A and B are shown apart, each in its own frame.
Chain A
């Protein structure tokens, strides 16, 4: 399992070493190590309750908001430990953006949804630049043509798929380095799902992307690397093509061939 960690030619964007997460006395993640680089989309797969979301949320410290959650081990972003006291969690979450399972736009206008992040981080010195950031983000999220004439409409009035792309636009508006997506398509219909997958392809390379999915075809379509989680451990991590055609572990093979899940 560790062979993959060192083999990357470039330095990893994020890396986790022996990460454990406890909910009270219960250990939900039992020692996971992984490297995430800029060039590859990483997919987390595994049966429900195996800890994919929990692990994903350690990467931008969203677990801090759960009082009973406790994280052990090292996670670094560009070599800097994100759990050290010198790391500003507010800034971290801007650098490591997140897209959630259920589309959750703010009940504000489309414009304000995208502009919110840049505003609170002071990324745009004036209105013109803010407009530019909003437009660029919406263009990159593939939503611009659909909403450019109604930026002042409520974000919650969009369709589910549009809302999710709005959430992606909102995340990329603060110019993050990593984007975490927790089952971003599970509430969407197949056409909206296809649009998001296409979008992930286009975003690849500019951002390091981690996507949790329970849909193995989706993992195969969008990712270059796949990590298989089971009962709080990472069973196997490797090139997506290898994981799907030639898994090394029995449990991975069982899961992929539909023996459980």
Chain B
């Protein structure tokens, strides 16, 4: 503290800023800068290239999955049904009518009449249900002779899009020539569920399964993760025990996901006897996996809140809980949301742990609740990619597109929310 005379500095040498050595050093520095910039640019270009490649391949293959091939079938309905009236096809008489007229038989007869004895090979085995649906949707059709567009067999569908068996190629050529075939948007793919006929499968069942699972995961992992982080940061005493908890949480975030599947299997299915294949169990399992990621992100976000803000709040008499909820959390929310986005995106794409708890159920109806048998998008993709029928290839790609769109939508919502919460300093 007391001033002492400074030891005199050694006689200083004049720096030669314009000398050769100095100029060379400057040139080297600029070269290094240019090199670094170039490397960075190359890295960005390479990753953009990969991304573009992925998108082009996926969309190229998957787009066909959203298109279906249909052939026309003309039916004289008054003759075939015995002149039923349209209101017989509306509730409440619908069920009784359907029992009395056999749509399947009407379909078979019409096919035989129009396409010959083995004309059935042109159509999907479930094409008659499409006919029934169209009738129910528009009962007035029973009044006259109508041309229906009904899905073709998957062989002809593939002949229309790509290549298929020689017979199918021939059939397709014949149909095209007669103008009896067309391609249209495949609503069934967006509204249906899994099935055995690739031309008729849909993604809605898996999409709904993913949605329910994600909701369970979010509603469990987010509050529990944030509260755990708040407790650890704000309230927990710093001792051996809390150190141990901290280490465990960090390790948990790095545990391979399949282990969480085994944990879910042991705890939820075997110990707690929850239903197999249910979105509830899938959500719980993924929540276990997502929670540590959220805890870590939330703790870092809470740590990053400047202490001066806490002091300011305490200085006017805010209680600890008010400090946390009025000041710390609002400032930490953007960081917490970033961690949540990462955790949820990972959970959405997870397959292995869900296979362990049986979420590979072959379900032809979408799940209606938390405990219905369900599957999720990545598992559906995995299952379809494993099918021998070539028709599933495009469905696999189409399902991947749906998964990516889901992911992007989820992230876009989260980023929007995060920006709304962001406090401008």
Contacts and interface: CB of A to CB of B under 8 A. Distances in A.
Nearest to B331: A107
Interface stretch (B106-114, B269-277, B317-325): B317-325
B237 to A, nearest CB: 8
A60 B425 contact: no
- State the majority secondary structure of interface residues on A: mixed
Nearest to A118: B316
Interface of A: 47, 60, 62, 65, 67, 90-94, 97-100, 102, 104-108, 116-117, 120-121, 154, 156, 167, 170-171, 173-174, 259-261
Nearest to A156: B425
A244 B424 CA distance: 46
A259 B310 CA distance: 38
B12 to A, nearest CB: 30
Contact of B318 (A67, A90, A108): A90
A104 B238 contact: no
Contacts of A91: 317
Contact of B316 (A47, A93, A156, A260): A93
B1 A107 contact: no
A168 to B, nearest CB: 11
Contacts of B326: 116, 120
Nearest to B237: A67
B2 A259 contact: yes
Contact of B314 (A47, A62, A154, A174): A62
Given A107-B331, A107-B425, A65 B317 contact: no
Contacts of B308: 100, 102, 104
Given A100-B312, A102-B308, A106-B309, A117 B1 contact: no
A21 to B, nearest CB: 17
A107 B425 CA distance: 6
B313 interface: yes
Contacts of A104: 306, 308-309, 311-312
A105 B424 CA distance: 13
Interface string B282-322: 00000000000000000000000010111111111111001
B182 interface: no
A171 B318 CA distance: 12
8 contacts: A100-B311, A100-B315, A105-B312, A106-B309, A106-B313, A170-B312, A171-B316, A261-B1
